Structure 1
Amino acid sequence: MIPQNEIREKAREQGVPVSTIERDYAQNWLLKALSSLPLLLKGGTGIRKVYIGDYRFSDDLDFTLLEGVENDELTNRIKNAVAIAREESGINFSDDIETQENENGFEISVYFQIMQRGESRTKIKIDITNEENEKILLPLSVRRIIHPYSDTLEAEIRVYTLEEILSEKIRSLFQRTRPRDLYDVWYLWDRVEKKKVFEILPEKFRRKNVEMDIKGFEQRKNDFKSAWESSLKHQLKALPEFEDVFSTVLGEVGKCVLK
């Protein structure tokens, strides 16, 4: 495990809380241990962990399950992965793992301590979507985990392409009001092959029975704005201006309707 001073220094350099760096570091070791499971990494964590090392930090780990697994079996496999991560990293991962089934799959809570003492723990939430609830439309990628810390971590993990991540982030804008989705769409828009995004976007929406209601999205502007700083300031050193981000995303996503 890296020294606590390294964690503090990283937090200072990145302009984020110490807990954000602790979680980011622990996530990497947990990802390495989970890489042998039939899971496909996606979402904001997928962007940071294997594509863009200086991307925003992420609180959760998001996956799509590649095969059917029962609750008990999945819990046991996660517990085994946590034990491996604890042994390999020296991080005090807890054996206390909580698993809940939901309409999309599973939500699993993993707890750990690095700088905390006593009963205080940091949580990593793992969201796993069942294979039947999400259709993967582009070939998956296998990429090396980016580990910007002084200890050695070498592992590869299966992950969505950036184009598939972006397509699901666009869909999410019309399903929920989470500023991180807005930020991710804004950031990724000029960094992907948009032709691929446009090709798979209709099926992504159809699969979840979601309508691309641009007017409804625009009407939720104040909801996004009110949660902008509280949702993202602990994940970024410099938060872009909300008005610039929203207007850009509104204009670009509006073009998708015309495709």
Structure 2
Amino acid sequence: MIDRRELFKAARERGLGLGITEKDYVLGWLMFGLSRIEGIIFTGGTALSKVYFPKIWRLSEDLDFISPVGDFSRVKAELPDIFSLIERESGIKLRLKSVHENPFYLQLKIQYSAVLGKNWAKVDITRDLPGESIEVEIPPAYPDYPRFSMRVETVESILAGKLRALLQRRKCRDYSDVWRMMELKLDFRKVREILERKCEAKGVEIDINRIFPEDLPDILRPYWERELGRLLRRPPEMEKVISDLRSKLRHLLCPGRDEG
């Protein structure tokens, strides 16, 4: 386990608090343990920060996985061995605090005791249609991390999942993530294809007006700085994010609408 000095250094480099930095550290060890479970695919904002863009992406407070078959009993059965492995390798003590489950979703709240004391982290595993995925070696973001690999959705697939999330809910971090991802050099035709498959699997209509309701600024404003300020050194301006996304997503979600 890293010590307080190393934790303070990591927090200072990111310009973030000790608590969220410690959680980021613990999440990496949970990734190491959960990588041993076959059939689950890492996705979401934490995959962007832990796998693809570890130096520039926002931190996250949970881990998201996709399970194509939704066999959650095997996941739960392996947790005691995973917790023991992580404690042996890192010294972090883990305990399953609560489980919320239905046929399509498993949420694990895991209490940990690490550098600063006790806190908890969340792991969400959703039964869903995965996009494209690859096996990736995880870059060691902290000095005591072991080398390991895991199955991760591609960036195009993560963006498609984020876009579907925007069609279903209004979360500041989703708008911020999609705004940043639209600046990347991606295969946006593939993003659209994966989005269509993911939306069809859940019965979600692709309608840009669902992403930008008239009262969107009023919905996001009370939470924007509070939610993103914990995870980013400098959160982007909300009005700019909405304006930029409205323009860029029109071409992705409404192809041909502006023609002729």
TM-score of the superposed pair, with normalisation by structure 1: 0.90
Match runs of 1:186-197 below 5 Å? 186-191=179-184, 192-197=186-191
Offset of residue 189 of structure 1: 1.1
What amino acid sits opposite 1:59 in the alignment? E
Give the secondary-structure state (helix, strand or coil) at the position aligned to 1:153: coil
5+ long unaligned stretches in structure 2: 256-260
Offset of residue 126 of structure 1: 0.4
Aligned to 2:239: 243
Give the secondary-structure state (helix, strand or coil) at the position aligned to 1:2: coil
Aligned to 1:230: 226
Offset of residue 240 of structure 1: 1.1
Offset of residue 114 of structure 1: 1.8
In the alignment, the residues of structure 1 paired with residue 3 and residue 72 of structure 2 have an alpha-carbon distance, to the nearest angstrom, of: 38
Match runs of 1:10-89 below 5 Å? 10-38=10-38, 39-54=40-55, 55-71=57-73, 73-89=74-90
In the alignment, the residues of structure 1 paired with residue 164 and residue 208 of structure 2 have an alpha-carbon distance, to the nearest angstrom, of: 11
What amino acid sits opposite 1:226 in the alignment? P
Give the secondary-structure state (helix, strand or coil) at the position aligned to 1:163: helix
Offset of residue 190 of structure 1: 2.5
Give the secondary-structure state (helix, strand or coil) at the position aligned to 2:168: coil
In the alignment, the residues of structure 2 paired with residue 96 and residue 162 of structure 1 have an alpha-carbon distance, to the nearest angstrom, of: 30
CA contact (8 A) 2:106 2:125 kept: yes
Aligned to 2:120: 123
In the alignment, the residues of structure 2 paired with residue 128 and residue 27 of structure 1 have an alpha-carbon distance, to the nearest angstrom, of: 15
Aligned to 1:7: 7
CA contact (8 A) 2:70 2:104 kept: no
Aligned to 1:198: 192
In the alignment, the residues of structure 2 paired with residue 80 and residue 196 of structure 1 have an alpha-carbon distance, to the nearest angstrom, of: 38
What amino acid sits opposite 2:241 in the alignment? V
CA RMSD of aligned residues (A): 1.7
CA contact (8 A) 2:160 2:194 kept: yes
Aligned to 1:151: 144
Q: Which moved more, 1:217-226 or 1:21-30?
A: 217-226
TM-score of the superposed pair, with normalisation by structure 2: 0.90
In the alignment, the residues of structure 2 paired with residue 142 and residue 101 of structure 1 have an alpha-carbon distance, to the nearest angstrom, of: 27
Identity, in percent, stands at 30
Q: Deviations over 1:94-151 (max 9, x none)?
A: x33422103631000111122334xxx2111000012xxx21232x111111222222
What is the total number of aligned residue pairs between the two structures? 250
Give the secondary-structure state (helix, strand or coil) at the position aligned to 1:190: coil
| Structure 1 counterpart of 2:161, from 155, 168, 175 | 168
Offset of residue 152 of structure 1: 4.1
